[in-house]
């Protein structure tokens, strides 16, 4: 051995213990060059990295006073879950009784009144909340508003920030991306999420918001099918709402078969948050699961891909009941992907987000997207910054296989569609202004996302308080982004 290899070996060998070259060869302390069989025994993982396998099980709901005598058969009945859902402060108080401090209940009563989104939570959701620390609980934060934690809306927020209605050629159908369409055949959900992007339309009217209509009638549905059939370029249809959990089995079949019959529709996704908030429906509503399976099987026979998209945000949403429900869908050959929203106090730390991703993967639900929280009315305290998404993505990537690693995206306000959070044209971190381009969706346009103002430094918060100053900041960011976009074009 001579030259650079020997020189390198000499340099590394001064400790007298030999050097391994990483290619199956090594040089010993005396300079002999030989082959080795390398064994790297990785130490056992220990309990912490396996935390994702530890799921809440048993009759956990019995800690809630109103469910103390509810047996498993009743708790797993999806009809009972729907009927017992909580919609008013009085129902909440009657259910959780003395387990929370009365000041929290007063706070929640005012939160219900000031929320733009109607409240509806299933007993399953109520039972997964830790009521000994309700302010911090990641599930409570998503569904039950408390007035004392609310922040003023961002001054640039609009009710339909994604402009879904502007991209709707017929009522209840959004056609934004060239090859995809979003069909919204109903306005109800098994629960109502405080952060819902579609709060302009979902659920009943509230004191603050009169809801827009989606495609509610068979005539609306037919108009949507006709439009999709008339547009040769549409290959992929998302059926959402509302939540397809709420569709009667006959309507799952009707919609599924109508879309499968359109030759150029190759892919369909039924969107439901149901697995996260009422997983027992998969165990006890056989007619619904059979209808879904029928559409999936028919699609497979036609060479078309029909899947379910669901929506988990907290690892605490995944229990033994969820695992059983996921197993049913897996056994039936139904692919399920999960989309998450990045929510402050829910999943915006590395531990919660990595645990969520690992837990989803453990039960065969594929983590697909993590969305930056949209600019939604009444939930400013739940939003995070673009930078936080970038930082979290680093924690997640590499932790598990790439196909189970979600892409972190910003659904660009104004209808730019989903952009990789890293792909901004310009990001003014100091003032919380990120500008994205979407050349394949809306060429030549720029889309601006705003970090929550309370996450900025005090001097930046002061600038946002002055309308003329904030207009100038936004204008400058767009000009800088435009300059970069033009240079790249």
Site for ligand SF4 in 236-265 (CB under 6 A): 241-243
Beta bridge partners of 306: 268
DSSP per residue over 68-95, as a string? TT--HHHHT-HHHHHHT-B-SHHHHHHH
DSSP assignment of 389-445? HHHHHHHHTTSS-GGGSPEEEEEETTTTEEEEGGG-SEEETTTTEEEEE-TTTSTT-
Buried b (16+ CB within 10 A) or exposed e, 405-415: bbebbbbbbbb
Segment interacting with ligand SF4 (CB under 6 A) among 29-37, 153-161, 189-197, 290-298? 189-197
Tokens matching residue 236: 């992929």
- Smaller CB separation from ligand SF4, 78 or 273: 273
Residue 118 contacts ligand SF4 per CB under 6 A: no
Burial class for 23, CB neighbours closer than 10 Å (0-12, 13-18, 19+): exposed
Torsions phi, psi for 427 (to 5 deg): -135, 110
C-alpha distances (whole Å) from 385 to each of 93, 348, 373, 431, 433 are 34, 10, 9, 11, 9
Q: Which two tokens stand for residue 333?
A: 């050959």
Residue 481 found at the interface with ligand SF4 (CB under 6 A): no
Q: Given the structure tokens 């056994």, which residue do they identify?
A: 331
Helix or strand run (H / E) with residue 104: helix 102-114
Report how many residues bind ligand SF4 under the rule CB under 6 A. 10
Rule CB under 6 A: say whether 189 interacts with ligand SF4. yes
**Residue 418 among the catalytic residues:** yes
Q: Is 342 in the site for ligand SF4 (CB under 6 A)?
A: no
Binding ligand SF4 (rule: CB under 6 A), the pick from 125, 202, 365, 460 is 202
Residue 201 near ligand SF4 by CB under 6 A: no
CB of 375 to ligand SF4, least distance (A): 15
417 or 432: CB nearest ligand SF4: 417
> Interface with ligand SF4 includes 141 (CB under 6 A)?
no
CB of 269 to ligand SF4, least distance (A): 13
Cis? peptide before 242, omega within 30° of 0? yes
Instruction: Decide if 198 is catalytic.
Output: yes
Catalytic residue selected from 149, 156, 216, 418: 418
- Shortest reach from residue 120's CB to ligand SF4, in Å: 9
Residue 411 is a catalytic residue: yes
Q: Which of 120, 167, 196, 436 is the catalytic position?
A: 196
Residue 189: active-site member: yes
State the catalytic residue, choosing from 198, 269, 304, 419: 198
Q: Which stretch binds ligand SF4 (CB under 6 A): 186-194, 207-215, 413-421, 444-452?
A: 186-194
In the residue annotation, 193 being an active-site residue is answered as yes
Name the residues annotated as catalytic. 176-177, 180, 189, 193, 196, 198, 374, 411, 418
Positions that interact with ligand SF4 (CB under 6 A): 189, 192-193, 196, 198, 202, 241-243, 273
């Amino acid at each position: 051995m001579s030259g650079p290899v020997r020189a390198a070996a000499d340099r590394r060998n001064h400790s007298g213990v030999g050097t391994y070259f990483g290619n199956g060869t090594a040089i010993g302390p005396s300079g002999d060059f030989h082959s080795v069989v390398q064994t790297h025994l990785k130490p056992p993982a220990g309990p912490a990295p396996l935390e994702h396998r530890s799921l809440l099980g048993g009759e956990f709901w019995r800690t809630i006073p109103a469910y103390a005598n509810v047996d498993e058969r009743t708790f797993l009945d999806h009809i009972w879950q729907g009927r017992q859902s909580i919609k008013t402060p009085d129902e909440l108080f009657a259910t959780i009784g003395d387990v929370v401090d009365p000041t929290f209940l007063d706070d929640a009563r005012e939160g219900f009144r000031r929320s733009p989104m109607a409240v509806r939570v299933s007993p399953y959701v109520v039972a997964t909340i830790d009521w000994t620390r309700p302010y911090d609980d990641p599930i409570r934060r998503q569904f039950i508003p408390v007035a004392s934690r609310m922040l003023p809306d961002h001054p640039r927020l609009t009710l339909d920030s994604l402009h879904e209605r502007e991209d709707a050629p017929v009522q209840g159908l959004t056609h934004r991306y060239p090859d995809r369409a979003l069909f919204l055949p109903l306005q109800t959900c098994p629960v109502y999420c405080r952060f819902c992007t579609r709060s302009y339309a979902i659920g009943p009217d509230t004191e603050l918001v009169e809801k827009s209509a989606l495609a509610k009638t068979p005539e609306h549905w037919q108009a949507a099918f006709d439009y999709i059939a008339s547009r040769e370029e549409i290959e992929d249809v998302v059926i959402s709402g509302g939540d397809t959990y709420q569709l009667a089995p006959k309507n799952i079949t009707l919609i599924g078969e109508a879309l499968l019959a359109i030759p150029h529709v190759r892919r369909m996704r039924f969107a439901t948050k149901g697995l996260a908030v009422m997983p027992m429906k998969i165990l006890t509503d056989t007619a619904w699961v059979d209808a879904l399976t029928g559409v999936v099987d028919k699609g497979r026979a036609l060479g078309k891909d029909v899947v379910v998209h669901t929506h988990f945000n907290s690892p605490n949403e995944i229990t033994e009941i969820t695992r059983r429900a996921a197993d049913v869908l897996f056994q039936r050959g139904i692919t399920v992907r999960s989309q998450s929203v990045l929510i402050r106090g829910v999943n915006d730390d590395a531990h919660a987000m990595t645990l969520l991703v690992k837990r989803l993967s453990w039960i065969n639900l594929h983590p697909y997207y993590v969305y930056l929280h949209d600019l939604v009315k009444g939930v400013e305290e739940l939003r995070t910054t673009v930078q936080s998404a970038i930082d979290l993505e680093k924690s997640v990537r590499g932790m598990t296989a790439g196909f189970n690693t979600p892409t972190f995206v910003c659904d660009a306000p104004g209808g730019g569609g989903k952009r990789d959070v890293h792909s901004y044209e310009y990001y003014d971190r100091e003032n919380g202004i990120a500008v994205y381009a979407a050349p394949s969706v809306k060429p030549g346009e720029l889309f601006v996302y705003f970090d929550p103002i309370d996450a900025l430094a005090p001097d930046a918060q002061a600038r946002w308080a002055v309308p003329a100053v904030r207009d100038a900041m936004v204008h400058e960011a767009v000009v800088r982004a435009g300059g970069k976009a033009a240079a790249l074009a």
